[in-house]
C-alpha cells in the first residue's frame, strides 16, 4: 500500500496501522512528486491520500494517478481534513473510491480499507 501525506506523524501512524492490522507492506510518500514517482513505478493494493499537500496537492495526485499510471484502477482512499461536500464530491467524481475524515478513527478507516480491498479482489475475479 502507498500512504501519501506531508505530515510524517500521520504517515507513520497509517503505516503502523496498516502493517499491524492488515499485514500490509507499506510505502510512504511525503510529497506529491514522490507519490507520483512511486505510483508510476509500482502497483499497489490501495493508496491512502491526503488532499492538503504542497505542490499539485492531493487532487492533482489523484488526477495523475487515474490518468496515466499503472495504478489507474487501484483503490484510492482519501484521508483528509477537508470536509467540504463539494470538494469530496469532486474527488469522488475524479476517481477516489472512498474517504475518511481526520482525525483518524482506526476501526472506521480499517473497515474502509478492507471494503476497498475486497471490492478490488471481486473486480479482478469477475474480469478474468
CATH code of the domain in which 7 resides: 3.40.50.2300
Is residue 48 within 8 Å of residue 77, measured between CB atoms? yes
In order along its 128 residues, the chain shows pLDDT tens digits of: 999 999 999 999 999 999 999 999 999 999 999 999 999 999 999 999 999 999 999 999 999 999 988 999 999 999 999 999 999 999 999 999 999 999 999 999 999 999 999 988 887 776 55
Confirm if 44 and 65 have CB atoms less than 8 A apart.
Answer: no
The boundaries of the domain holding residue 57 are: 2-126
Count, residues in the chain? 128
- Note whether 101 and 83 are within 8 A (CB): yes
* pTM assigned to the model: 0.94
Number of domains in the chain: 1
The phi, psi pair for 83, rounded to 5°, reads -115, 0
Residue with cell 507520483: 36
Amino acid at each position: 500500500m502507498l500512504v501519501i501525506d506531508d505530515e510524517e506523524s500521520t504517515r507513520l501512524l497509517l503505516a503502523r496501522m496498516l502493517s499491524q492490522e492488515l499485514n500490509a507492506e507499506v510505502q510512504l510518500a511525503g510529497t506529491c512528486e514522490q507519490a507520483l514517482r512511486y505510483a508510476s513505478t509500482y502497483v499497489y493494493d490501495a493508496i491512502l491520500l491526503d488532499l492538503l499537500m504542497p505542490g499539485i496537492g492531493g487532487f492533482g495526485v489523484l488526477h495523475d494517478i487515474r490518468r496515466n499510471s499503472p495504478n489507474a484502477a487501484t483503490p484510492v482512499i482519501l484521508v483528509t481534513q477537508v470536509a467540504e461536500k463539494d470538494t469530496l464530491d469532486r474527488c469522488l467524481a475524479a476517481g477516489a473510491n472512498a474517504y475518511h475524515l481526520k482525525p483518524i478513527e482506526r476501526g472506521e478507516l480499517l473497515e474502509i480499507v478492507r471494503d476497498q480491498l475486497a471490492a478490488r479482489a471481486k473486480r479482478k475475479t469477475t474480469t478474468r
